[in-house]
Structure 1
Amino acid sequence: MIDLTPATMPKRRQERGMPWEQAYAIARDTPSPLAPQTTAIGVASGRVLAAPIHARSAVPGFDNAAMDGYAITGAGPWTITGRALAGKSVAPSTLRPGTAVEIGTGAPVPAGCEAVLPYEACNRDGSVVAGTVGLRPHIRRTGEDVRPGDLIVAAGRIVTATVAAAAVQAGVDDVSTHRPPTVTLLVTGDEVITSGTPGPGQVRDSFTGLVSAVTSRAGGVLHTSHTVRDDPNLLRAALEDADTDAIVVSGSSSAGAADHLHNILDEQQATWHVRGVACRPGHPQALAVLPDGRWLISLPGNPFAGLVAVLTLLEPLLRTLAGKQQCPLPITAVTGTVPATPCGVRIVPIRFGEAAMQIIATNGSAGLHGVAAADGLAVLPADWSDSNFATILTVP
């Protein structure tokens, strides 16, 4: 029999929680980007540049033909003396007036070349070619696009495939990037199963996919995810074993008999930055940092409420750790009706409408089916009314 005398019952936290906007700003602004590291450009995709990329070589690296045709010098007609193709140069190194070299696009032009006469602008008779030189010489000169030392991409930009290609073209092999933050997810609860059809009193883990998607979107890496039974010793051990930049704990976040996280963090002298947020759903979310510098994000156990916490605390935190630029959240008009929330914000699923975002029905803090049909979540302040503007969160 469980002893629920006043001496053994857990203390309930009565605080209303800080304003949602403040909690989001704390998660975004409190951490610092992770230390830079040298990264091979071939594996830097998706990372954030900690330093600008400067060209190490000229682009083009040599004078070359911009068209297929004939490299010429002097007045025509011109006598053809050889052929030059990209990667294969057997033509004379220097052109004499009145001579020409058949040339392919990208091939080095001989010294003294004044223009490339395109095939379509000339006539060839045996070893002689004639034609009229146009306004464009069709020669790409050394350093015409980029010179050594030129800025390719500024710090703070994400390394995309195009950024990587531009860097490689300019002779860059390595870049300085912020290390992607790593995340451990602990899904707590005796009732949680990871596969199969839930039996009486059981629920499937719906957090791993959500946390993984948002972590990746924010520039981080979900290192591991596993379930933890409702045992304080097991949770304490799992926290100690989590060797990642951030630890996400779903469940164990409130003040019930099976909610041990807050007591454990107090024991470990964690520094609390957020301990409850004035929002519905998602009130019992929290953000703390352990003495060794690892971040702890506490998610409510109900899936919709947990998703709200992921978007409120986890995503802005990881974006900053990854070095990503923090853009203001979008604000747009929202139509519909919701129950009043006098002591905070209400967060609801919305869908694109003809003139504004429209609120769609939900099923409390647990169900995800309403969110699955949504294009985003609207953060509605206490004084919000139909067709007023609201901050929008993007669902994963």
Structure 2
Amino acid sequence: MTDHEADAALERATDEALALFADDRVPGAAARRGRARGRRPAEGYNPFAEDPFADAATPPAPARAAASPAGDTPGSEDHPATGPVEPPGSGTGHGAEHAPGRRAEEAEHAAPRAVPAGRHRHTGSAWPAARTVAARAADPLDPRVRPLDDCLGHTLAAPLKALTDLPPFDTSAMDGWAVSGPGPWRLPGAGPAAVRAEDEAGEPDAGGTDVPDAPGILAGHAPSAALHDGEAIRIATGARIPSGATAVLRSEHGTVRPQGELHAGRHLVQGQDIRPRGQECRSGDELLSAGTPVTPAVLGLAAATGYDELRVVPRPRVEVLVLGDELLREGLPHDGRIRDALGPMLGPWLTALGAEVTATRRLGDDAPALRAALEASDADVVLTTGGTAAGPVDHVHPTLLRLGAELLVDGVAVRPGHPMLLARLAPDRYLVGLPGNPLAAVAGLLTLAAPLLRALAAGPVAEPPRAALTEAVPGHPDDTRLVPVVREDSGWVRPLRFHGPAMLRGLAAADALAVVPPGGADRGTRAELLLLPRRSGAAGGMV
């Protein structure tokens, strides 16, 4: 199938979906159904000119963001503007999403409050408010003292202060000679033997080959004696500078002449190529603040300044429970069953977000097994996939009710991923419920799990990056949209096709999810970005 045929098929499917879900009370619904049953709409028809999600009393909202004309944006023909919003029910793996029309609950959207799990009602928190609730839901885990080898990926629980000067003594920055005073300089052991060695070897070459002299001072060895004015001694990079030395002459800049005299090939200044004691830090200096993630570089700095162990906030422990009888672990889809895409994906993604994944378990649609797994888990966070809506096999809400859990977020006004949830199982244990469709699940992961994990790990909160959109992105009238985008060489981001709630193709090629506010975004709008662990593979500074 060519790109043109694929686009035509996608547009026909869009029209049919709009016709199926449009209410007869919405002006133009019948006409849309007629168009969906007939041939492809005429060129220029805009299915978003009328709002299929509007309430009966609310006039249709005009489309805020129309697709850019062909050729207006590089690559617009191969990658047209992001397509229509998903109809109700498209963002969940089990059952249909709850219909919109939440204008009567706008106060709850702006200020969501925790409700017992038994009072099951998707309050549909606004996307920014849901993120805030997740970020404030938990206190950091208790700090622990760990050996350096076990600190990678954790967070500093206290400022990292230098235990020594760095470097702890004057050191040579280059291989060469430590010299004292102006040249030329006498080398130790120079005399007739050195001259005979030079005669046998021939004249020194232009690169500064010298006659043999004493091995000098090596890294890890203390100087044997002080240098006096006019003296020089061989020295290696990192070796301690002897007392009396005024500079280091690099090997390539010096030549040893007859009688063992060292001459400089260029001007030498006081202190040249010497790293003075305390150049990088002094003992007691604060090097890094509490809350800094422990990276390989942090481990190196801690070791250099004298640490054998660190006080850190540990990585949150997460257990993943994959729900759904329709999921296969291997092979091709068959007999109404499909491959499990979330099990292989979520573990590495959680690791990139700074979590320690303790297990990934597949339970199917089994309410007793789900309850038993939640009661037995000792993880800080349990992550479930699927079962968060209100279908016949959606067991998450009833199970939370039986366990006496507290719902902190019950549904979010975002597409895809509306039926995501956040619950407190116990004072220090949480559950994040993700929809079952892959892109919807990732939307839930970045909306609720990422800020919760950052809070538990006492991680830093950074201002989210932004980038301009290469083309307009249509919006939902009430809900935020999360759209896969790829970064262009210009620094702008281009929306990708294949952004349906069950799709992974767009996500796999994306650098980030662009946050599109209700109503859509015009070309050139600087959209907030949720970075994906595509290139760096690390939390926070992804991509």
SS in 1 for 2:423: strand
Give the whole-Å Cα distance in 2 for the aligned partners of 1:117 and 1:374.
52
Q: Is the 8 A contact 2:467 2:491 kept in 1?
A: no
- Code of the aligned partner of 2:496: I
Q: Distance in 1 between matches of 2:439 and 2:224?
A: 73
Q: Secondary structure at the match of 2:350?
A: helix
Query: Where do residues 180-199 of structure 1 align in structure 2 (5 Å cutoff)?
Result: 180-199=315-334
Deviation of residue 88 (structure 1)? 6.7
Give the equivalent residue in structure 2 for 1:203.
Answer: 338
Choose between structure 1 and 2: higher strand proportion. Answer: 1
Opposite residue 407 of structure 2, the aligned amino acid is W
Q: Does 2:411 align with 1:304?
A: no
Letter of the structure 1 residue corresponding to residue 456 of structure 2: L
Instruction: Tell me which residue corresponds to 1:94.
Output: 226
Task: Tell me if 1:106 matches 2:213.
Answer: no
Q: How does 1:222-301 map to 2 (within 5 A)?
A: 222-301=357-436
Is 2:121–2:410's contact at 8 Å kept on the other side of the alignment?
no
SS at match of 2:447: helix
For the 8 Å contact 2:120–2:397, the answer to whether it is kept is: no
Q: How many residues align?
A: 385
Residue identity opposite 2:162 in structure 1: A
TM-score norm. by structure 1 comes to: 0.86
Say if 2:258 is the partner of 1:125.
Answer: yes
**How far apart are residue 235 of structure 1 and its match?**
0.8
1:24 aligns with one of 131, 152, 159: 131
Match of 1:134 in 2: 268
Which position in structure 2 is the counterpart of 1:382? 518
Deviation at 1:22, TM superposition (A): 0.7
SS at match of 1:142: coil
Residues 57, 232 of structure 1: alpha-carbon distance in 2 compared, 3 angstrom cutoff: same
Residue 215 (1) aligns with residue 350 (2): yes
Answer whether contact 1:13 1:255 (CA < 8 A) is retained: no
Q: Deviations over 1:142-199 (max 9, x none)?
A: 3333222122222222222222222222222222221001111111111122112222
Decide whether aligned partners of structure 1 residues 333 and 77 sit closer, same or farther in structure 2, where only a CA change above 3 A counts: closer
Q: Is the contact between residue 483 and residue 499 of structure 2 (CA under 8 Å) also seen in structure 1?
A: no
| Structure 2 residue matching 1:152: 3-state secondary structure | strand
Change (3 A) 1:112 1:286: same
Contact 1:188 1:229 in 2 (8 A): yes
> Pairwise mapping of residues 31-70 of structure 1 onto structure 2 (< 5 A)?
31-70=138-177
Which ranges of structure 2 fall in alignment gaps of 5 or more residues?
A: 1-117, 190-213, 534-543
Q: Deviations along 1:113-144, whole A, 9 cap, x unmatched?
A: 34444452454323444559722333333333
Give the 3-state SS of the residue equivalent to 2:506 in structure 1.
helix
What displacement does 1:376 show? 2.7
Per-residue deviation at 1:218? Answer: 1.4
Q: Match of 2:91?
A: none
Name the structure where helix makes up a greater proportion of residues.
2
1:301 deviation in Å? 1.6
Q: Which amino acid aligns with 1:262?
A: H
Aligned counterpart for 1:369 among listed residues 502, 505, 514 = 505
Moved more, 239-248 or 208-217: 208-217
Equivalent residue, structure 2, for 1:391: 528
Amino acid at match of 2:529: I
Q: Distance in 2 between matches of 1:65 and 1:302?
A: 59
Deviation at 1:323, TM superposition (A): 2.0
- Output the CA distance in 1 between the equivalents of 2:178 and 2:295: 37
Q: Following TM superposition, by how much is the alpha carbon of 1:223 offset from its aligned partner in structure 2, in angstroms?
A: 1.3
Query: How far did 1:19 drift?
Result: 0.7
Cα distance in 2, alignment partners of residues 172 and 231 from structure 1: 49
Equivalent residues of 2:478, 2:519 under 8 A apart: no
* Higher relative contact order, structure no. (Cα contacts within 8 Å, ≥ 6 residues apart): 2
User: CA 1:58 to 1:370, structure 2 compared with 1: closer, same or farther past 3 Å?
Assistant: closer
- Identical counterparts, % of pairs: 35
| Cα shift at 1:287 | 0.1
Instruction: Report deviation, 1:356.
Output: 4.6
> Aligned partners of 1:383 and 1:305: how far apart in 2?
20
Query: After the TM superposition, which of the residue ranges 373-382 and 116-125 deviates more from structure 2?
Result: 116-125
8 Å Cα contact 2:218/2:239 also seen in 1: yes
TM-score under structure 2 normalisation? 0.64
Taking structure 1 as reference, are residues 14 and 389 closer, same or farther at Cα in structure 2, changes over 3 Å only?
Answer: farther
Once residues 218 and 529 of structure 2 are traced to their aligned partners in structure 1, the CA distance between those partners, rounded to angstroms, is 53
SS at structure 1 position matched to 2:154? coil
Q: Rg bigger for which structure?
A: 2
Matching residue of 2:283: 148
Q: Is the 8 A contact 2:247 2:268 kept in 1?
A: no
SS at match of 1:318: helix
Residue 55 of structure 1: how far off its partner (Å): 1.6
> Where does residue 4 of structure 1 map in the other structure?
none
Identify the range of structure 1 (380-389 vs 221-230) with the bigger mean alpha-carbon deviation: 380-389
User: Which amino acid in the other structure matches residue 391 of structure 1?
Assistant: E
Which is worse superposed, 32-41 or 109-118?
Answer: 109-118
Paired amino acid for 1:125: P
Structure 2 contact 247–269 (Cα < 8 Å) conserved: no
Distance 1:379 1:89, change over 3 A: closer
Report if aligned partners of 2:384, 2:433 keep a CA contact under 8 Å in 1. Answer: yes
Amino acid at match of 1:94: A
